[in-house]
Amino acid sequence: MASGPNPVPVPPPAPAPAPVAGRGEHWWPVALAILTAASLHVALPARYRVSPTWVVPVVLFVLLAALIIGDPGRIDRQKPWLRITTSVVIAALTLANLFAGTRLVADILTDNNVFADNAVALLATGGVVWVTNVIAFGLWFWDLDRGGAAARAHHPYANPALVFPEMLHTDYVPSTWVPIFADYLVLAFWTATAFSPTDISAIRRWAKLLMMTEAVASLGVGALVIARAVNILK
């Protein structure tokens, strides 16, 4: 009996490319920023902290530890749970600071006795909210641009949302230059102080909207806190 044509063998799927040795960011700058923001939140007056006091630092520390254990060494493992956990960490930090900032602004607008004659305490509280805001937005830029830090370790030049000056002036940087957390933190700082992109340009709408949101938040908190402090000092 004649047999049918032999089936064409299907090749096995190609394995995922291994990360290039030495490529990928170190965890410590990101971890230091997150732990600094958690400490700043605890340093706020009780009225502006999430209650109970231990919730924010413990949640951030546990999630950060899970990230470092799940992706030890350099950040280069592309796993959905790692990406989701990273976003949860940043969202938790952002919401905690949003709570503090919203309550501070509400107190300034509605309570003439807020901080009474203590302009220094008012400026310190506003400064903590402002610095934490810069860290939070720096983390968002870092996590969203080009698919996140792990994706940049494998495909560093794919689908950028932000154009850094190093990308334009290639004669002054190594050919392997890729933005790291410090670059995104600088972007967040200048957006919060100059209220403009300065030397870093956004070329994706989500990045433009994120920068606009940070500028509005920084301008609102900063202007109200400084104006109220000047009024107290008079």
Q: Which amino acid would we find at residue 158?
A: A
Which residues, including other chains, have CB under 8 Å from residue 122's CB and lie 6 or more apart?
114, 115, 225, 228, 229, 232
Strand, helix or coil at 202? strand
Q: What are the pLDDT digits (tens) for 153-162?
A: 999 989 999 9
DSSP 219: H
CB–CB of 19/76 below 8 Å?
yes
**Angstrom distance (rounded) from CA 213 to CA 219:** 10
- Other Cβ atoms within 10 Å of 164 Cβ, number: 20
User: Within 13 Å and on the Cβ side, how many CA atoms surround 93?
Assistant: 34
Q: What are the pLDDT digits (tens) for 15-24?
A: 444 444 457 9
Q: Which residue in 58, 48, 64, 36 sits closest to 132, CA to CA? A: 36
Mean pLDDT score, 79-94? 97
Q: What are the pLDDT digits (tens) for 183-233?
A: 999 999 999 998 777 789 999 999 999 999 999 999 999 999 999 988 888
With pLDDT > 90 as the criterion, what percentage of the chain qualifies? 76
**Angstrom distance (rounded) from CA 154 to CA 16:** 10
Q: Rounded to a whole number, what is the distance in angstroms from the first to the last CA of the chain? A: 105
Residue 129, pLDDT score: 97
Q: Is the pLDDT of residue 137 over 90?
A: yes
**Angstrom distance (rounded) from CA 165 to CA 31:** 26
Residue 234, pLDDT score: 75
- E strand segments, the chain: 25-26, 74-75, 162-163, 201-202
Mean pLDDT score, 29-41? 97
Render the burial of 99-126: b for 16+ CB within 10 Å, e for the rest: bbbebbbebbeeeeebbeeebeebbbbb
Burial degree of 167 (CB within 10 A; 0-12, 13-18, 19+): middle
Every domain of the chain and the residues it spans: 25-233
Q: How far is CA 73 from CA 21, 80, 152, in A?
A: 11, 18, 15
Q: What are the pLDDT digits (tens) for 45-63?
A: 999 999 999 999 999 999 9
Residue 15, pLDDT score: 45
